[in-house]
Chain A
Amino acid sequence: MQTRSIGSFALKLSLFIERLAAYPCIAATGAMTVVVLLGVLFRYVLQSPLSWSEEVARYLMIWAASLAISIGIMRREHLGITFLTSRIPASAQKYVAVLVNLAVLWFLWILTKFGYDMALEGQTQLSPVLAKYRINMMWSLSAIPVAGALAIIQTVLQIVVDLFRRKEDFDIKGMVDI
């Protein structure tokens, strides 16, 4: 009973952090659409092209997509090939999943750590078009360490969920359809 409650606490926390990433991700995806449309509108209808629309939209996309990585971890949408692992006993599957997640954590740690350094260095580098508004590269580069840190938290929580919850609580998703 005790272990089950650890699992459900981890799941609740995981859901909370998912929302923390989801709202900015939704906002950034929506804003990116509006910004590109504004770019088209200003160029053709108002005949005065916006210099910044492409750059702003690109930064919004980088933020939206990076934040969504941690959402995908929580929703288990990042797909692997399961035809081998699905053939081993369920109890062993759990430990293979934990092992894989530890390797994932290692990658995310290096991405986050060096991403943090990269974002700090970006402070001294002005953004190409937005330079006139004194915007530096840290604003977009920091998407990588922020998203990386969220992804690390979600991966740890998913390891806890894997270890402490029963098999039927899993929700394994299908295939990415673009």
Chain B
Amino acid sequence: MPSLTFVMPHWLYWSTLGLFPLVATWLVYREQERRDFGRPNLFLAYLFLLTAGFLGMHRFYLKSAWGMIFIPFFLAVLWTSADIRIARENLSLSRSEAEHAERLLTRAQSDLAAGKTGAAQRLAKAEADAAPARDHFAASTDGLRRANGYARVAGILLGLLLLGDAFLLPRLVRRRRQRETTPTPPLVHPLDTGVPASAVKPPLPFFRPVDWLVRVTGELVAYWAVLAVFAYYYEVVARYIFNSPTNWVHESMFLMFGMQYMLAGAYAYRDETHVRVDIVYSHLSVRGRAVCDIITSFFFFLFAGALLVTGWRFASDAISIGERSFTEWGIQYWPVKLTMPIGAALLILQGLSRLVRDIAIVAGKVE
């Protein structure tokens, strides 16, 4: 199996984070226009061929049992790449062993030339030691070559199968679609894991832009989770099938999630998913709740404000030195830190929108 040496370039990382949510939003929109779901489609079939075709997943997606054929080949590839890993370790061990023996040998030879006592015996011993070490090294080289050879055969066979299916796929999808004429209706599921408490309060007209900003930010960063799925999947496949672990997947993903937590705070506040203790609060009237919210808003703004000010100081320090991480990948750190004041600012805006609305409720201007 060839090695994967791809390292995510920084510009690609940041632009993917920026562009993927926009593309996904567009795809959601386009899908609603076309209304063709509940049946197999070519895009997903090729996606699964590309990402999990070595397990026959594209075939299973099309309900074709022929996908089973891929599994023995996949196991063979997995087996051989484990072999390669062992062979590589053996090789490096025997190489250092052989090198050590050679060093002793040359030293003994030069000792003999200098006419030191006992050099002859040492030379004989070193020669005796070097021979098995050389054999060992040769055997390990051979072992690695053999393992690589098997891996190549298994890999090529698997590749040919995949290539064949890449050509067959459009026809397979078409045939499957003819058999599944009635699309499966989408399931309606309540996915709300938050507290089933009071409904979301609609904003006052003046604060609609704020509401829009908070909602759109949240919806866009929500799509990042999809990126993580593919990134971790890539990492594991690269490690076990191609024997090449990456140095960027883990770091890029936890930083991405870190930014997501920060930016999502305001969105969750808007949708009332931050847990509260509902013993008294939920039994109050709408006005009573508004009064409580006005009282506690002092504390809310204290926290959000402190986060904004200190977070900005924290981020601007990082920006001024163009901070990067100390890892091999060396990604820019300052945009991650910058999400802290941005998240706090969104939170404050959302809090203001609520506060004004609560005051309007208490004043009797709004229901």
A and B part of one assembly: no
* A-binding residues in B (CB < 8 A): none
